[in-house]
């Protein structure tokens, strides 16, 4: 079967012809990354005359984005009657038996199960990392290739980690395409780009047109400092503390951390826990590390209130009034925000060390990256991104970072005002 071969720019050819199994392309807007990858997926689905039952996937963060790609390929094939189109489920049935599916990454669990023979992950940085984990699993038995494309925005994005991986792993190759590359190839008009440069803030222009990743707007903790949290082994020990963020409901975890000064020396996590189970776990750690009960703090909102009452330890009320420092009120709406702001300062000064396993490191990194100023809040106080917004962004509650934040509470001299 003859494959449609449109004209491609030189940088498009380099990306599509890469021998790496996984390519990560960070590209500016309107440089032809979407259409060229549609053609690549189409070509993969036609490598053999007999591809009966083989699945080829186009995955985008939301359904409507996948539908746009589906419609572009459908229109491209409109001249032939060899293809069948399922416009409800976004499937193109090819004459050789291959099926090209256009899917949404909104619910990562829905991506598990199938065997996929080639895939494009469109606008991957806008999807959750869990979607990549699911998608990666579908490529295992087929040893299939995948191309990830998008505009990265901030350097904390999970796709940025794959970019770094490409420096060491030959199965990954990174490409960067800017507006200037597209101008040189005659794909976009130079004057239009120059006008956009005049119209847009420098940071936005660099991200959208020059594919320059930057620190995410409003992010309080520097990414390089988050990385060092797990390697600052020089941090000395001191007084022992225990902090506990008790699970409330659903997918929340109970996370208990033992501290030797600003060194987190042990983390205990429980998927679900009753008051008794939390009390017993904390009690064992108190005995193991000889921690004074006055140096144990529990988030007492919800189930944690019962744990605090039973242990008679320090209770932390998230929405309590911010603590005065040197007799002066600080510009925070509550003590939780105050503690997170202090935590950001401590991490940025590289004054904290956390000993943990790889999965915990990944969770903690994602959660600390979410410590950001809220956008468009009608108040003069310093307001952080809400827990609900964080849950939407990473797909879970920030239980680890909350347990870390509680360690800061011991540095506030007036903490006793919060103890009941």
CATH number (domain holding residue 95): 3.40.50.300
Last-in-domain residue among 178, 209, 240? 209
Assigned domain for 351 exists: yes
Same domain, 46 and 72: yes
Q: Could you tell me which residue, 207 or 12, shows the higher pLDDT?
A: 12
Instruction: Evaluate if residue 266 carries a pLDDT over 60.
Output: yes
Q: What is the mean pLDDT of the chain?
A: 88
CA distance 30 to 279: 56
Same domain, 247 and 375: yes
CA distance 101 to 111: 11
Same domain, 66 and 119: yes
pLDDT tens digits for 108-134?
A: 999 999 999 999 999 998 888 899 999
Same domain, 258 and 142: no
CATH number (domain holding residue 363): 3.30.420.240
pLDDT tens digits for 72-109?
A: 999 989 888 899 999 999 999 999 999 999 999 988 99
Which SS3 state, helix, strand or coil, does residue 384 take? strand
Helices 335-348 and 399-408 cross at an angle (nearest 10°) of 90
Assigned domain for 216 exists: no
Assigned domain for 5 exists: no
What pTM was computed for the model? 0.56
Last-in-domain residue among 182, 209, 236? 209
Domain of residue 353, residue span: 223-418
Same domain, 183 and 294: no
Across 209-220, average pLDDT: 73
23 CB burial (10 A radius; 0-12, 13-18, 19+): buried
Assigned domain for 3 exists: no
């Amino acid at each position: 079967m003859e494959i449609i071969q449109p004209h491609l720019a030189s940088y498009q050819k380099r990306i599509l012809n890469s021998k790496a199994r996984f390519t990560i392309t960070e590209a500016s807007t309107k440089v032809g990354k979407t259409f060229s990858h549609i053609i690549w997926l189409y070509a993969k689905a036609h490598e053999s005359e007999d591809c009966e039952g083989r699945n080829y996937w186009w995955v985008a963060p939301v359904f409507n984005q996948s539908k746009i790609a589906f419609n572009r390929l459908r229109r491209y094939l409109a001249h032939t009657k060899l293809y069948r189109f399922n416009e409800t489920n976004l499937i193109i049935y090819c004459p050789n038996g291959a099926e090209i599916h256009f899917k949404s990454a909104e619910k990562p669990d829905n991506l598990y199960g199938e065997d996929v023979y080639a895939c494009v992950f469109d606008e991957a940085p806008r999807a959750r990392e869990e979607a990549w984990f699911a998608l990666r699993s579908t490529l295992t038995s087929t040893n299939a290739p995948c191309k990830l494309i998008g505009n990265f925005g901030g350097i904390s994005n999970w796709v940025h980690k794959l970019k770094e991986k490409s420096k060491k792993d030959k199965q990954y190759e990174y490409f960067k395409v800017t507006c200037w590359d597209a101008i040189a190839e005659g794909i976009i008009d130079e004057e239009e780009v120059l006008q956009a440069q005049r119209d847009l803030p420098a940071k936005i222009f660099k991200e959208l047109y020059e594919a320059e990743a930057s620190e995410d707007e409003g992010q309080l903790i520097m990414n390089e400092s988050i990385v060092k949290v797990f390697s600052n082994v020089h941090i000395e020990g001191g007084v022992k503390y225990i902090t506990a963020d008790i699970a409330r409901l659903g997918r929340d975890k109970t996370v208990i951390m033992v501290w030797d000064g600003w060194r987190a020396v042990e983390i205990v996590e429980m998927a679900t826990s009753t008051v008794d189970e939390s009390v017993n776990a904390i009690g064992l750690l108190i005995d193991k590390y000889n921690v004074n009960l006055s140096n144990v703090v529990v988030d007492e909102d919800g189930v944690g209130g019962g744990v605090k009452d039973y242990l008679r330890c320090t209770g932390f009320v998230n929405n309590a009034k911010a603590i005065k420092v040197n007799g002066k009120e600080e510009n925070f709406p509550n003590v939780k925000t105050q503690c997170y702001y202090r935590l950001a300062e401590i991490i940025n000064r590289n004054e904290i060390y956390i000993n943990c396993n790889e999965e915990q490191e990944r969770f903690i990194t994602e959660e600390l990256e979410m410590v950001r100023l809220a956008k468009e809040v009608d108040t003069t106080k310093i307001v952080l991104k809400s827990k609900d917004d964080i849950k939407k962004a990473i797909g879970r509650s920030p239980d680890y970072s909350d347990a870390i934040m509680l360690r800061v509470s011991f540095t506030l001299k007036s903490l006793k005002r919060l103890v009941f």
